[in-house]
Amino acid sequence: MNRGDGLVQRRRVVNSSSSSGFGQDGSNDLGHNDKLSGNSMDTDCSSQKDLNSNPTIDDDSDKETRLTLMEEVLLLGLKDKEGYTSFWNDCISSGLRGCILAELGFRGRVELEKAGMRKKGLLARKLLLKNDAPTGDVLLDEALKHLKDTDPPETVPSWIEYLSGETWNPLKLRYQLKNVRERLAKNLVEKGVLTTEKQNFLLFDMTTHPLTDNLAKSRLVKKIQEAVLGRWVNDAGRMDRRTLALVILAHAADVLENAFAPLCDDDYEVAMRRVRTLLDLDFEAEAAKPNANPVLWAVFAAFTK
């Protein structure tokens, strides 16, 4: 879960059919121990809008297919033709769980406890239920139920571990969200972004989800590239809040490289340097700013500690 050791090296070969879709969750079906997302709400806010604000419902006049943060990160990680994620990516499971908590923060369902007189850090503050109204998204509502049933509350890093099943506490294994990648992929199939196929891997058949809507993937890649190149503002508070979360959590899930691979070398270096600028921010200070959403910054901090 720790992605703070530096940015990944640029890969010269982008798509490799030799990689497998198995991961660290233990399943051989696209992404094991991962779960489906239902309805989605996404936002294309103005780059001048304060990313830290936390509306319950995001405004979006775009008629494009709306994807949740989890779906966007998974779409970045899937190989276009093969339809599965890399076997070597052991970060995407925890990254997707971070996306779930961030999405709940965007929708005003959770909040961090107050820092208090002792000025607790983001990673030490408990994640509290703010609104238990259903979101209409299967994954989010399941995570919301776990949060509601947990007393005393837990921290953001703990919740990422629990939802990923990466905890040594057997009493917390019941909080694990299973088959997240496969279920998110099926949700993208329903939205017309992916399709479903069967591939034979010698000893077994595996369900894969190749890309069908190239425009949706292109828009996603372009959004990330523009955020750190053409529309770079050098101020996290002025960036679109969802785009900022997408960039940082895509890095946490080790799929950000896929968005930058098509760039020329010069643009690639600039993009990666600006991503490092975002990762090196003082998250505690950002979370303390007026109208900030501490949940987002706590999720970011959990992957860069």
Look at residue 64 in the predicted model and tell me its pLDDT.
60
**Pairwise CA distance, residues 94 & 71, whole Å:** 14
Six token digits for residue 199: 């591939």
Which residue is associated with the tokens 């946490």?
A: 252
Helix (H) or strand (E) holding 246: helix 241-252
Half-sphere exposure for 58 (CA within 13 Å, toward CB): 28
pTM as predicted: 0.79
How is the chain split into domains, by residue range?
76-300
**94 — pLDDT class (breaks 50, 70, 90):** very high
Contact 305, 299 (CB under 8 A): no
Six token digits for residue 260: 């930058």
pLDDT at 1 over 60: no
Look at residue 84 in the predicted model and tell me its pLDDT.
86
Residue % of the chain over a pLDDT of 70: 79
Report the range of poorest mean pLDDT among 15-29, 78-92, 119-133, 233-247: 15-29
Contact 255, 89 (CB under 8 A): yes
CATH superfamily, domain 76-300, is yeast vps74-n-term truncation variant domain like (1.10.3630.10)
Look at residue 20 in the predicted model and tell me its pLDDT.
39
**Pairwise CA distance, residues 205 & 28, whole Å:** 9
Structure-model confidence comparison of residues 167 and 303, the more confident one: 303
pLDDT digits (tens, 9 = 90+) for 217-249: 999 999 999 999 999 998 888 899 999 999 999
pLDDT at 295 over 60: yes
Look at residue 119 in the predicted model and tell me its pLDDT.
85
Look at residue 10 in the predicted model and tell me its pLDDT.
54
Look at residue 204 in the predicted model and tell me its pLDDT.
74
**Pairwise CA distance, residues 99 & 43, whole Å:** 15
Q: Which residues of 41-56 are buried (b: 16+ CB within 10 A; e: fewer)?
A: bbbbbebeebbbebee
Report the range of poorest mean pLDDT among 23-32, 162-171, 238-247, 257-266: 23-32
**185 — pLDDT class (breaks 50, 70, 90):** very high
CB atoms near residue 155 (< 10 Å): 20
